[in-house]
Chain A
Amino acid sequence: METILKIENLEVKFHTLGGVVNAVNGISYSVEAGKTLGIVGESGCGKSVSMLSVMRLIPNPPGEITGGRILFKGQNLLEVSEEKMEHIRGAEIGMVFQDPMTSLNPVLTIGRQIGEAMMVHNGFSREQAEKRTIELLNLVGIANPDQRIKEYPHQFSGGMRQRVGIAMALACEPDILIADEPTTALDVTIQAQIVELTKRLQAELGMAVIWITHDLGVIADLADRMIVMYAGYIVEEADVFDLYEKPSHPYTLSLLRSLPRVDSSRGGGERLATIPGFPPDGVTIMLGCPFAPRCNFVVDRCRLENPPLIMVNNDHKAACWVDVNTGKERSL
């Protein structure tokens, strides 16, 4: 399988008045062409920041990519010129945002906003861009596209706007679509529609998808491979089935336990599990594992040393000193 995006030891820091925030701490992963990678984790775990780094859109200052490489088709994106990067954004990597209410420009028509990328990257004329925009809107399931391209974002509902957002990201048929919590701001029925739409588009256009979410229910249906992030680290990486069947990190385990299930064996009336506390702030330098204070499996070593991401099973990585299946400390 062809690897299209490979991130190696990416480190992102934010220099704030309160100190240096370590947003992403040396993460590595790769995305294969035509496959879907799911990234899950709580708010503030570095999911969005790592994606914005791929686009090289971290606001600088205060943000800074302090280390690592981002290899897109073998080329390190951290070293290419700004002009080249402008071409890669949109033409080769597309991005969909969380809140379709704010990610569309309120004073430009839908047609103008979708068409812009094609005019910039493909050198389309206004008419060509308009024609293609109508095709795209058809593709993402918007009725009367030739009418609606003349309308403004406020004339669309939330779900429709997210479809427009997807059309915008797909305008130049990118190789990778980055979706940053695209369903979080939508209600459940619309969420399902957007997930279905993404699956269909991926099958039709054959692009790779990176889907960031904190909803394990949404991603299960969509992803081929999963990454769980916590406090700027990857704590677990596995095939989607493996991850749900045999979670190997206490954090993943807790996340899965806090999902409501229709087939709950716990019976009626039982409370949903929660994870006490909140993720560390990123300013405080922790000696041990960042999840240790909230972990049920914690052993002495956790508070002293941060566990590396190790292969725990066939193609299944986790960063934990403890084997959660047995509850015993790993002999590393």
Chain B
Amino acid sequence: MMGTAESDVIKIQEEFKTEALTPGQLMRMRFVRHKMAVFGLIMLVILILYSFGGAFIFTEAEANFTNTKLRLNPPSAENPFGTDTVGRDILIRTIYGGQISLLIGLAAVVVEVVLGVLIGAIAGYYGGWIDGLLMRFTEAMFNIPQLFLLLVMAKFFGGSVPDINLFGRQFSGSVVVIIVIIGLTSWMYLARIVRANFLSLKEREFVLAAHTTGTSNFSIIFQHILPNSIAPIIVSGTLSVANAILSEAYISFLGLGVKPPTATWGNMLEGAYNYVETAPWLWIFPGLLIVLTVLSINFVGDGLRDAVDPHALVDAG
């Protein structure tokens, strides 16, 4: 340091610095390079606009309005998607059904992520017998086929929750039941991912460094380690939304899901299977929407997986 104070040297050097790309910028660049993911994202935005924007044009009363004179009408100018077995307009029902289906998908994943992260994080961080106990429980849950568990739980808890009024709207209590049981039957995969992540992260030196500053275990788990494993959680959570929507469709199709008159894409299919050939519009439109949503979410999930992987390079091309 010849004459110049160190801090001055640093100050001078700071002025010539090129700003490095932030991890966020790199992530966005990697995501955008994934064409299908961008397509999926656009598709999803359209589907959300369709379900939630459509509610400003049609009321829920219209969605549930039955007119037996109009039953099983094919698509026409008046009913663009046709009408169902009791004469309800399918277009409006897919709009309101979409809201419930998407809501179930997202809410079930919230339940799943909370459970999966809690169990995985505690098992991975503490290890020992706590890990053993929690992981054996996870494996036990894995070994019961999810569909079977879904059906049994839906049968068992169905109708045990009264209808709820939210935002001035009436929701069937079965929506909550479905959300909870989908969440309860799907957290295991995520718990394993989080546990594996914690197992490796807890050995890192910054965790030891956090310990030496007197940070509590709780804060180390949730504020120091968890943000480091957020990437796989987001990816897995995104893909789970698609699975939750499909699960809801299964059980509703089998008549154990959300109870009419509340529409979901799944329970719209329920009434359709007697008319597979005679009135295909009953299943084509809700079916198409389910397929599009699930596909789009999967594309977005794939894109995210690449985007959050720091080893995937962004080349200039």
Q: What is the minimal beta-carbon distance from A237 to any residue of chain B, in angstroms?
A: 25
Q: Tell me whether A17 is interfacial, beta carbon within 8 Å.
A: no
- Majority SS at the chain B contact face: helix
B71 cross-chain contacts in A, Cβ below 8 A: none
B210 cross-chain contacts in A, Cβ below 8 A: 105, 116
Given the known inter-chain contacts A57-B208, A143-B7, please indicate yes or no for A107 contacting B228, CB distance below 8 A.
Answer: yes
Residues facing A in B187-225 (CB within 8 A) are 204-206, 208-216, 219, 223-224
| B214 partner, pick from A91, A97, A98, A104, beta carbons under 8 A | A91
Q: Tell me whether A209 is interfacial, beta carbon within 8 Å.
A: no
Instruction: Flag if A121 contacts B212 (CB, 8 Å).
Output: no
| A193 partner, pick from B6, B23, B205, B214, beta carbons under 8 A | B6
Q: How many angstroms from the CA of A171 to the CA of B209 in the assembled complex?
A: 13
Given the known inter-chain contacts A99-B205, A155-B20, please indicate yes or no for A105 contacting B224, CB distance below 8 A.
Answer: yes
Q: Tell me whether A102 is interfacial, beta carbon within 8 Å.
A: yes
Instruction: Flag if B209 contacts A103 (CB, 8 Å).
Output: yes
Q: How many angstroms from the CA of A171 to the CA of B208 in the assembled complex?
A: 16
Q: What is the minimal beta-carbon distance from B117 to any residue of chain A, in angstroms?
A: 16
B204 cross-chain contacts in A, Cβ below 8 A: 102
A105: nearest chain-B partner, CB-CB: B206
Q: In the complex, which of the residues B6, B208, B223 has the most CB atoms of chain A within 10 Å of its own CB atom?
A: B208
Q: How many angstroms from the CA of A103 to the CA of B204 in the assembled complex?
A: 8
Q: What is the minimal beta-carbon distance from B79 to any residue of chain A, in angstroms?
A: 52
B6: nearest chain-A partner, CB-CB: A141
Given the known inter-chain contacts A90-B214, A105-B224, A120-B214, please indicate yes or no for A143 contacting B14, CB distance below 8 A.
Answer: yes
Q: Tell me whether B169 is interfacial, beta carbon within 8 Å.
A: no
Q: Tell me whether B144 is interfacial, beta carbon within 8 Å.
A: no
| A87 partner, pick from B11, B20, B214, B223, beta carbons under 8 A | B214
A89 cross-chain contacts in B, Cβ below 8 A: 211-214
Q: What is the minimal beta-carbon distance from A178 to any residue of chain B, in angstroms?
A: 8
B224 cross-chain contacts in A, Cβ below 8 A: 105, 108
Q: What is the minimal beta-carbon distance from B11 to any residue of chain A, in angstroms?
A: 5
Q: How many angstroms from the CA of A117 to the CA of B213 in the assembled complex?
A: 6
Q: Mark A155-175, 1 if CB is under 8 A from B, else 0.
A: 100000000010011010000
Q: Tell me whether A55 is interfacial, beta carbon within 8 Å.
A: yes
Q: Tell me whether B10 is interfacial, beta carbon within 8 Å.
A: yes
Q: What is the minimal beta-carbon distance from B129 to any residue of chain A, in angstroms?
A: 12
Q: How many angstroms from the CA of A55 to the CA of B10 in the assembled complex?
A: 35
A305 cross-chain contacts in B, Cβ below 8 A: none
Q: What is the minimal beta-carbon distance from A4 to any residue of chain B, in angstroms?
A: 17
Instruction: Flag if B214 contacts A121 (CB, 8 Å).
Output: yes
Q: Tell me whether A86 is interfacial, beta carbon within 8 Å.
A: yes
Instruction: Flag if B14 contacts A116 (CB, 8 Å).
Output: no
Q: Mark A88-117, 1 if CB is under 8 A from B, else 0.
A: 111101110111001111111000000011
| Chain B residues touching A, range | 20 to 34
Q: How many angstroms from the CA of A108 to the CA of B204 in the assembled complex?
A: 14
Instruction: Flag if A143 contacts B10 (CB, 8 Å).
Output: yes
B229: nearest chain-A partner, CB-CB: A107
A105 cross-chain contacts in B, Cβ below 8 A: 206, 209-210, 224, 227-228
Instruction: Flag if A97 contacts B7 (CB, 8 Å).
Output: no
Instruction: Flag if B216 contacts A95 (CB, 8 Å).
Output: no
Instruction: Flag if A116 contacts B215 (CB, 8 Å).
Output: yes
Instruction: Flag if A57 contacts B212 (CB, 8 Å).
Output: yes
B10 cross-chain contacts in A, Cβ below 8 A: 141-143
B23 cross-chain contacts in A, Cβ below 8 A: 152, 154
Q: Tell me whether A144 is interfacial, beta carbon within 8 Å.
A: yes
Q: What is the minimal beta-carbon distance from B157 to any residue of chain A, in angstroms?
A: 39
B214 cross-chain contacts in A, Cβ below 8 A: 86-91, 117, 120-121
Instruction: Flag if B212 contacts A102 (CB, 8 Å).
Output: no
Instruction: Flag if A90 contacts B213 (CB, 8 Å).
Output: yes
Q: How many angstroms from the CA of A86 to the CA of B212 in the assembled complex?
A: 8
A152 cross-chain contacts in B, Cβ below 8 A: 23
Q: In the complex, which of the residues B14, B213, B223 has the most CB atoms of chain A within 10 Å of its own CB atom?
A: B213
Given the known inter-chain contacts A143-B7, A155-B20, please indicate yes or no for A104 contacting B206, CB distance below 8 A.
Answer: yes
Q: What is the minimal beta-carbon distance from B21 to any residue of chain A, in angstroms?
A: 11
Q: Mark B1-45, 1 if CB is under 8 A from A, else 0.
A: 000001100110010000010010000000000000000000000
| B213 partner, pick from A98, A99, A141, A171, beta carbons under 8 A | A171
Residues facing A in B70-86 (CB within 8 A) are none
A168: nearest chain-B partner, CB-CB: B213
B219 cross-chain contacts in A, Cβ below 8 A: 116, 120
| A116 partner, pick from B7, B11, B213, B228, beta carbons under 8 A | B213
Given the known inter-chain contacts A86-B216, A103-B205, A104-B206, please indicate yes or no for A57 contacting B211, CB distance below 8 A.
Answer: yes
Q: How many angstroms from the CA of A257 to the CA of B32 in the assembled complex?
A: 59
Residues facing A in B272-292 (CB within 8 A) are none
Instruction: Flag if B213 contacts A143 (CB, 8 Å).
Output: no
A116 cross-chain contacts in B, Cβ below 8 A: 210, 213, 215, 219
- Which 4 A-B pairs give the minimum distances between C-beta atoms? A90-B214, A90-B213, A95-B212, A117-B213
Chain A residues with CB under 8 Å of chain B are 55, 57, 86-91, 93-95, 97-99, 102-108, 116-117, 120-121, 141-144, 152, 154-155, 165, 168-169, 171, 193
Chain B residues with CB under 8 Å of chain A are 6-7, 10-11, 14, 20, 23, 204-206, 208-216, 219, 223-224, 227-228, 230
Q: List 29 A-B contacts (CB under 8 A).
A: A55-B211, A55-B212, A90-B214, A91-B214, A93-B212, A94-B213, A102-B204, A103-B206, A104-B206, A105-B224, A106-B228, A107-B227, A107-B230, A108-B223, A108-B227, A116-B213, A116-B215, A116-B219, A117-B213, A120-B213, A120-B216, A141-B7, A142-B10, A143-B14, A144-B11, A152-B23, A154-B20, A154-B23, A171-B213
20 further interface pairs, Cβ-Cβ under 8 Å (given A105-B228, A107-B227, A144-B14)? A57-B208, A57-B212, A86-B214, A86-B216, A89-B214, A90-B212, A90-B214, A97-B208, A97-B209, A99-B205, A104-B206, A104-B209, A116-B210, A116-B219, A117-B213, A117-B214, A117-B215, A121-B214, A144-B11, A168-B213
